[in-house]
Amino acid sequence: MKIHVKNVIKRFGDLLVLDNVSFRVYENEFLCICGPTGCGKTTLLNIIAGLTSATNSNPVLINDEPIDPQKHNISFVFQEPSCLPWRNVRDNVRFGLEIKKAVLKQGLSENEIHDKVRKIISLVGLDEFEEYYPHQISGGMKQRVAIAQAFVMDPDLLLMDEPFGYLDVQTRYYMEKEVLRIWEKLKRTVIFVTHNIEEAVYLAERVVVFTELPARVKAVIPIDLPRPRDYTDPKFVEIRRQITKLVKWW
Amino acid sequence: MKKIVVSDKILNILVILGFIGLWQLMATIIESPFFPDVIETMRAFVDLAKHGDVDGYSLLAHIEVSLIRIGAGFGLACLIGIPLGLIMGLFPITYEGSRSVIEPIRYIPPIAWIPLVIVLLRGFSRYVFIIWLGAFFPILINTLTSIPRVNPVHVNVARVNGADRGYIVRHVVIPSVLPEILAGMRVGLGVGWMCIVAAEMIGGEMIGLGYLILKYAQLLMIEYSIVGMVLIGIIGFTMNEVLVRIEKRLFKWRWEVVV
């Protein structure tokens, strides 16, 4: 799935949040959006997903047409905990598949759903917690549930909004590797928002750097490092330094 | 220092004893034939339970008809209040556009409706209407105000995955607001019980716990009226407890502290 973001403008009242933001995401690319906190990254992601409308009309094209969640297979991992508290871990992971089946009549069979859900839950290491409710597990585990819910959809476009912000360093590192592994295997388009520059350089094929509010695209940095990447590789450090300089607003 | 742990059961028993003691003390001080003490009230209870009231209705019959009336009024309040509250919450314009009528009506005490009810309604519908009036608004208002509190992220998860409005209402909104609706039902049930005397005042039949209170008040046998009051309190409390139990079972995720 390729995405064309062209001249997105978003105002909340008098506040201009996105000021002519344009970039492209190529088919099966892993793109990171990096920028200072509160610069409108989340807003842009919501616009791409069709959850918020831009102030100008149809500035985001997915495969050359306007976004439609019922038509395009999109998954979104939200920044804040998004598990439904009345569903246990397993039923949370199933949620999207159930929607596809009930609303779009294009779902998998019950057996296929069962197997898929089981597999993905064990992938995020929650086998023993299938029956647990969100209030019974930790914040990091909840985020893994949300990630499993997104991955299980085999989305053509995966949007991730600082998905690992709530995780401890260890789990975060593990999840980053996991996301990359899945991406390399499935080859889907990923847009990953983060304010963690190191994370962006570790994950992305290209990093789009935003300015402060109102957000504009400050630079697009390609990262041509072999994978798996090494945080201590001088080239890695150099790119990180370069982006840090761009993001600096003090 | 040793920490003293008192269970709430023991505490409640102590408070009941204290309450009865206070009552007895007041009765002793006031010393009026119209302020019965605990023993007289107990005696009245035994008399009512054994022999029925002056019209020959047994205590159980009183309880039964009152329960049926409450059930009908409260049931109707749920039946109308919950769906209407959902609609008004989902389409705020319906509430915003009608609040100038709904809100003032909400503040009119059910007792104030008595003259109109006498003119307009007959028989069983009188009880149902008065109790319905009391129970309806808490249920309606709780339901409709709970809708904007649905977590937008939960709605967004459904939307991104392609859910339509109907699916979101059924699978996100309703499960989210169910606890609020049940809370509204509990309040509504309480207010419904509070209307029982008003309802039975005009119902036309000589039976029902509310009417029992009125009947003996007219006979100046206040200890018998108090039996009716206490029974209403106990039955209301029991029904509330049942709803609380249901709540705790259904919405474990809301009651349990995060581990």
**What pLDDT, in 10s, does the model give residues B16-37?**
999 999 999 999 998 888 899 9
pLDDT value at B48 more than 80? yes
* Chain B positions in Cβ-Cβ contact with residue A42 (cut-off 8 Å): none
Please state, in angstroms and rounded to a whole number, the distance separating the CA atoms of residues A14 and A27.
36
Q: B160 CA to chain A: closest CA distance, Å?
A: 6
Please name the member of B162, B256, B258 whose beta carbon is closest to the beta carbon of A70: B162
More confident residue, A24 or A249: A24
Residue recorded with tokens 């009231």? B53
Residue A214 preceded by cis peptide, ω within 30: yes
B62 confidence band (pLDDT: 50, 70, 90): very high
pLDDT tens, residue by residue, A215-233:
888 888 888 888 888 888 8
A100 confidence band (pLDDT: 50, 70, 90): confident
pLDDT tens, residue by residue, A103-114:
877 767 888 888
**Across chain A, what does the average pLDDT equal?**
86
Instruction: Please answer yes or no on whether B259 and A149 come within 8 Å at the CB atom.
Output: no
Angle, nearest 10°, between helix axes A89-103 and B152-160? Answer: 50
pLDDT value at B258 more than 60? no
Which pLDDT score, from 0 to 100, does residue B134 have? 94
For range A210-219, the mean pLDDT: 84
pLDDT tens, residue by residue, A33-50:
988 877 788 889 998 888
Instruction: Please answer yes or no on whether A49 and B160 come within 8 Å at the CB atom.
Output: yes
Please name the member of B162, B254, B258 whose beta carbon is closest to the beta carbon of A99: B162
Q: B89 CA to chain A: closest CA distance, Å?
A: 20
- Cα–Cα distances (Å) from A162 to A34, A105, A181, B165, in that order, read 10, 32, 18, 27
For range B246-258, the mean pLDDT: 72
Instruction: Please answer yes or no on whether A78 and B254 come within 8 Å at the CB atom.
Output: no
For range B36-62, the mean pLDDT: 92
Instruction: Please answer yes or no on whether B160 and A86 come within 8 Å at the CB atom.
Output: no
Instruction: Please answer yes or no on whether A70 and B251 come within 8 Å at the CB atom.
Output: no
Q: B61 CA to chain A: closest CA distance, Å?
A: 42
Best of B153, B157, B259 to disrupt the A interface (most A CBs within 10 Å) is B157
B259 confidence band (pLDDT: 50, 70, 90): very low
Beta strand pairing call for A30-34 and A189-194? parallel
More confident residue, B29 or A62: B29
Q: Dihedral angle at the C-alpha atoms of B40, B43, B44, B50, nearest 10 degrees? A: 180
Q: B54: which DSSP letter?
A: T
A72 confidence band (pLDDT: 50, 70, 90): confident
Token pair recorded at residue B254: 């809301």
pLDDT value at A84 more than 90? yes
What lies within 8 Å, CB to CB, of A48 at 6+ separation is A3, A5, A60, A67, A159, A191
* Chain A positions in Cβ-Cβ contact with residue B256 (cut-off 8 Å): 135-136
Q: CB atoms < 10 A from the CB of B170, how many?
A: 12
Q: List the one residue out of B196, B183, B189, B178 whose CA is nearest residue B238.
A: B189
Q: Per-residue DSSP letters for B107-128?
A: TS-GGGGHHHHHHH--THHHHH
| Residue A156, helix vs strand vs coil | coil
Please name the member of B160, B172, B176 whose beta carbon is closest to the beta carbon of A51: B160
For range B134-160, the mean pLDDT: 94
pLDDT value at B257 more than 60? no
Q: B161 CA to chain A: closest CA distance, Å?
A: 5
More confident residue, A179 or B76: B76
* Chain A positions in Cβ-Cβ contact with residue B171 (cut-off 8 Å): 98-99
Q: A215: which DSSP letter?
A: B
B93 confidence band (pLDDT: 50, 70, 90): very high
**What percent of chain B is modeled with pLDDT above 70?**
96
Q: B189 CA to chain A: closest CA distance, Å?
A: 25
- Cα–Cα distances (Å) from B34 to B20, B55, B225, in that order, read 17, 22, 11
Which pLDDT score, from 0 to 100, does residue A4 have? 86
What lies within 8 Å, CB to CB, of A91 at 6+ separation is A84
Please state, in angstroms and rounded to a whole number, the distance separating the CA atoms of residues A23 and A8.
10
Residue of chain B minimizing CA distance to A91: B171
**What percent of chain B is modeled with pLDDT above 90?**
78
Which pLDDT score, from 0 to 100, does residue B59 have? 93
Which pLDDT score, from 0 to 100, does residue B255 have? 58
